[in-house]
């Protein structure tokens, strides 16, 4: 098929794909080397793009080519519902790079969950939460460090003791407790020094 012929794509899907990707009309126009008015005409359905231009749009938006031929834009949850935000960050104003990263993360998660289901296995529960409260470091285990150790099959080094070793603990799970439930090895700094044979 010649790539210079007009392609009857769905203009509402094109507008959806641009906005969902976080791009302004001007940036798309710069990428395709056309005037912004041309992009706006495509989105109004007044003048369809060529096949080559649709292929470039698909690459730029990181979308499959066939999405532009759907009868209506896909129904997807708001991107802001998929992640936590720092104070002052307005939902819907994420950068294209962040929107792409979150979308890729969602796709990989769904793929992983599908593979786990096909293998007849269950997803390991992750009994941690986190928040932006400055006092949280005294109230909850360090979720990031534990998640990284789980991901890389590492060892967690901490001076924190388990709930059983504390007198009237304020919570049931501390770093050693979570590591035990997740099957992670957890040692103190002194334990690490002995393990590695450090000498001073």
Average pLDDT over residues 125-130: 57
Residue 138: band (very low, low, confident or very high) from pLDDT cuts 50, 70, 90: very low
Instruction: Count CB neighbours of 146 within 10 A.
Output: 22
Q: Where are the beta strands (DSSP E) in 75-163?
A: 155-157
φ, ψ of residue 62 in degrees (nearest 5)? 55, 50
Nearest to 10, CA basis, from 102, 77, 72: 72
Q: What is the distance between the alpha carbons of residues 72 and 93, in angstroms, rounded to a whole number?
A: 23
Percent of the chain with pLDDT over 90: 32
Residues in Cβ contact with 4 at an 8 Å cutoff, skipping those fewer than 6 apart: 50, 51, 52
Angle at CA of residue 145, ends 143 and 146, nearest 5°:
65
Average pLDDT over residues 109-126: 81
Residues in Cβ contact with 45 at an 8 Å cutoff, skipping those fewer than 6 apart: 11
Q: Domains in the chain and their CATH numbers?
A: 11-69 (1.10.260.40), 79-118 (no CATH), 134-196 (no CATH)
Nearest to 69, CA basis, from 1, 11, 29: 11
pTM over 0.75: no
Residues in Cβ contact with 14 at an 8 Å cutoff, skipping those fewer than 6 apart: 42, 43, 57, 68
pLDDT confidence of residue 88: 65
How, if at all, do strands 155-157 and 185-187 pair? parallel
Q: Using an 8 Å Cβ cutoff, are 146 and 186 in contact?
A: no
pLDDT confidence of residue 181: 87
């Amino acid at each position: 098929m010649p790539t210079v012929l007009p392609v009857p794509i769905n203009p509402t899907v094109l507008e959806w794909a641009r906005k969902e990707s976080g791009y302004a009309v001007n940036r798309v126009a710069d990428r395709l080397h056309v005037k912004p008015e041309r992009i706006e005409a495509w989105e109004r359905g007044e003048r369809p793009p060529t096949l080559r231009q649709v292929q470039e749009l698909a690459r730029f938006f990181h979308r499959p080519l066939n999405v532009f031929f759907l009868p209506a834009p896909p129904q997807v949850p708001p991107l802001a519902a998929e992640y936590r935000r720092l104070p002052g960050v307005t939902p819907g104003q994420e950068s294209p790079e962040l929107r792409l990263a979150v979308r890729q993360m969602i796709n990989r998660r769904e793929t992983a969950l599908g593979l786990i289901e096909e293998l007849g296995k269950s997803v390991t529960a992750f009994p941690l939460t986190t928040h932006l409260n400055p006092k949280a470091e005294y109230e909850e285990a360090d979720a990031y460090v534990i998640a990284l150790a789980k991901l890389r099959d590492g060892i967690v080094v901490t001076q924190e003791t388990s709930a059983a070793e504390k007198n009237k603990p304020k919570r049931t799970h501390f770093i050693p407790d979570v590591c035990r439930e997740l099957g992670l090895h957890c040692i103190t700094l002194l334990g690490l020094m002995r393990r590695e044979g450090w000498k001073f």
